Structure 1
Amino acid sequence: MYDAVVIGSGVVGLSIALELHNRGIKVAVVARDIADDSNSIGFASPWAGCNWYSFANGRSDPASDWDEITYKGLEKVAKERPDLCEKIPVWDVYSRKKKEEEKPWYKDLVTDYRDLEATPSNPLPGGKPYATNFKTWCLHAPNYTRYLGDKLRSSGVPLIRHRLSSLDEAYNLPSTGRVNLVINATGLGARSLIGVEDDKVYPARGQTVLVKAPWVKEQIFHVEGFFASKGQEGDETAKAPPQAAYIIPRPGPEGHVVLGGHYRVGDWSTCADLKEAERILKDCYNLCPRLAGPNGHSWRDIEVIAHNVGLRPAREGGARVELEHRQIGKKGFTSINPTTVNDDMGRKVAVVHAYGVGGAGFQNSMGLAVKVSDLAVGYLKSSSSNRARL
């Protein structure tokens, strides 16, 4: 019935499915949580900030290519749905002047990039002495994932709600039929999915405060050290939330703004920490007192809509993006795999892994989809040629 099955319905899985469909591959999406589940804590996508702010470590980092493709690709989304995606200024403020080699790789990619220094007549947000200013995209995270889901459905790509316990199951589901290729975009699920069980995967807990402030139209970041190495799971020092703050206006008519930031390694809790929320509100108010409104006088005057918590699907060593050849019915899987039938034992199949991007899913999404689709299409062409020769 299908050429491939994508497992995982976060922004990465949905973007990959859409790219594969656009290349003529018949694909289905299978996931426990699907694009409509914007209140689910089972995946990270609905809870993202979210904006385009590359974490890639220079041009040698493969993520820089994924980010560049996405930055350019979001132009089309913004034209089609300005309520989901818009380009607005961002102020990245900091306390130490950056050396030339420390400037971001994307300075020639983004719109209107400038390095600035505060003066008495031109102070910078938060009273910081230095800043980088440019224009970048911000997205309405939960509505954007729903938009991707709607695009897939309208194109005939099904989003099938199904909880997988093992990777082997995905090759022979009753709803999709027998396939030889699976795309593994399960995020944190890659840690426990039988057949993958990647112990390098860990949660990086995030917490934000959603507020109403329609008069705030610029993004402001004070994130020095926030995107540096976060340590290993189990490292107690790495779990201390960094003193970072960011302000991201959300597209759409609601006038909502997302305030953060928080990054706690190895913490699976999805309950809001009110002390951390207070810290976020105070720090963001110091960066932008306008959050409190025209008549506000302190951070307590900010209109809070919701406290949100999500678990970023991070991975030691970075994202895993690769093609793996495997065999169904491998020793250790047959007794626990209810959908593996006798004639499947020993069948040669493949999986393209696409997980472990941490908090970079939205800004990676389109470029990562291109990379993964290249691997998938290459495999399908190769396996088709091999069958033809046989």
Structure 2
Amino acid sequence: MNSTTSTIPKNIIILGAGISGLQTALSLLTSETPSPKPKITIIAKHFPGEKNPNYCSPWAGADWRSHASRNEEDRRLRGWEEITYKRWNEMELHNYPKGILGEGIRKSVYFNTVCVDVDKYLSYLLLRIKTLGGLTIGSEINTNDGLEGVIRSCKGLAKENGIGGEVDIFINCTGLAAGKFVGGDEGEKLFPVRGQVLMLRGETRVCKTLVGDLGEKGDELLYVIPRPGSGRSVVGGCKQANNWDSNPDSQLTGRILQRLKDIGWADDFMDENGHIEVLDTYVGFRPGRRGGARVEVEVEVEVDGEKEGDVIGKRGNAKAKVKKIDGVYILHNYGHASGGYQCSIGCAEEIVRLIAGLELE
């Protein structure tokens, strides 16, 4: 697509204030394109500082550890991760010593990573967005009428809050909530991946992850991530697909602590009596998606002049056309499962590039 130059700032609504929504807003406000700078409004039920299992960004570790394979199907994922890693390394970092190979570990890999205090980082992103002129609206959006209804509701809410001008672009960064309104097969691709983490007293000096199939179902793992400068660390966890239980599992907590001791990683957290103090236990639902994250412009496929929904099973000259609803372009950035942070900047910059390629008037 060829972009056209406009002297009128574009009015962009971002739905969702997790790591994907906040980073998308910041990348749009700090990028050289589009020009002039767009007017950004974030609409969300939850913002940084709030706690809810369905608002999973505050429950994350978070650190950078690649989830991508060398296969061609992971090419985009590798790119998103690489960009985020490079951007994070441009920020101020602290060097920590190498870890020690623990009991039962066959081999280890050492690399410089980035550990994030997610509460502070989310608040930092939101502060930068507001400083750059971004606006926020705290509200729950009705999802009963599909994507069309969500866009109408967002436009109406923006108008009610005194945000003038027509909405040009809508960016869906709602995570699991997208399944309630994106419709059809796209909605069915989403599923929860339950996570449970412990906040421990004591700040480890090394970020560690034990890779393997732990637990009876192979859906448990062990990782230790410091909250830099806080005197605390996050220890987890599990990746339990299709589990909506928001209550902490005390037996899982016990297994996590026992593994921590068995592998030799508990020294940073034990007092003189060998006791580990658990400050809190968190449960959150990662936005899993079959096929990986969805980062793209909404399109409709036509075959011989008919929309995709009318031509199931037919073959012919198929072509994809950028879809607009009520004059609004739609983009998506959701479904990152446990890779939301480490892909955040890469995915946000891809959204910026996609918008630059739209034929904006």
Provide the TM-score with structure 1 as the length reference: 0.74
Q: Deviations over 1:303-352 (max 9, x none)?
A: 111011110011011111110157xxxxxxxxxxxxxxxxxx97332111
In the alignment, is residue 211 of structure 1 matched against residue 200 of structure 2? Answer: yes
Q: Among the aligned pairs, what percent are the same residue?
A: 30
C-alpha change, 1:32 and 1:346, in structure 2 (3 Å) is closer
* 1:355 correspondence with 2:334: yes
Counterpart for residue 73 of structure 1: 87
Establish whether residue 160 from structure 1 lines up as the match of residue 137 from structure 2: yes
Greater fraction helix: 1
Q: 8 Å contact 1:172–1:179 — kept in the other structure? A: no
| Aligned residues of 1:90 and 1:136 also touching (Cα < 8 A) | no
Task: State the match for 2:177 in structure 1.
Answer: 189
Please tell me the root mean square deviation across aligned C-alpha atoms, in Å: 2.5
1:190 and 1:183 map into 2 onto residues whose CA distance is 11
The whole-number CA distance in structure 1 between the counterparts of 2:347 and 2:95 is 21
Q: CA deviation at 1:15?
A: 0.3
Report the counterpart of residue 257 of structure 2 in structure 1: 281
Equivalent in 370, 375, 379 of residue 349 of structure 2: 370
Matches within 5 A, 1:251-262: 251-252=228-229, 254-262=230-238
Distance in 2, Cα, partners of 1:179 & 1:261: 41
Partner residue, 2:44: 31
Cα separation, 2, equivalents of 1:13 and 1:36 = 15
CA shift in 2, pair 1:87/1:73, >3 Å:
farther
Deviation string for 1:220-255 (max 9, x for gaps)? 2112258xxxxxxxxxxx993534211111112x21
Partner Cα distance (1:245, 1:90) in 2: 18
Q: Can you give the 5+ residue segments of structure 2 that lack an aligned partner in the other structure?
A: 1-8, 32-36, 143-148, 301-323
**Higher RCO, Cα 8 Å, sep 6+:** 2
Query: 1:204-230, CA deviations, whole angstroms, 9 ceiling, x for partnerless residues?
Result: 00001110113x21122112258xxxx
Partner in structure 2 of residue 41 of structure 1: 53
Does the residue aligned with 1:383 lie in a helix, a strand or coil?
coil
Counterpart CA distance in 2 for 1:346 and 1:134 is 46
Counterpart in the other structure of 1:14: 22
Instruction: Report the CA distance shift for 1:74/1:59 in structure 2 as closer, same or farther (over 3 A).
Output: farther
Taking structure 2 as the reference length, the TM-score comes to 0.79
One-letter code aligned to 1:48: A
* Alignment partners' CA distance in 2, 1:146 and 1:31: 15
Q: 1:59–1:374: structure 2 CA closer, same or farther, 3 Å change rule?
A: farther
Specify whether residues 306 and 124 from structure 1 end up closer, same or farther in structure 2 by C-alpha distance, changes over 3 A only: same
Runs (4 or more) in structure 1 with deviation over 6 Å come to none
CA distance in 1, matches of 2:336, 2:182: 20
Alpha-carbon deviation of 1:138?
0.4
> Which amino acid letter does the alignment assign opposite residue 70 of structure 2?
G
Contact persistence 2:200–2:269 (CA under 8 A):
no
1:272 deviates by 0.4
Task: Spell out, residue by residue over 1:139-195, the C-alpha distance to the aligned partner (whole angstroms, 9 max, x if none).
Answer: 001211111011111111012112112422224432344312101000011011366
* 2:63 alignment partner in structure 1: 51
CA distance 1:88–1:182, change in 2 (3 Å): farther
CA distance in 2, matches of 1:66, 1:377: 18
Amino acid at match of 1:150: L
Alignment check: 8 A CA contact 1:70 1:367 kept: yes
The residue number in structure 1 matching 2:281 is 307
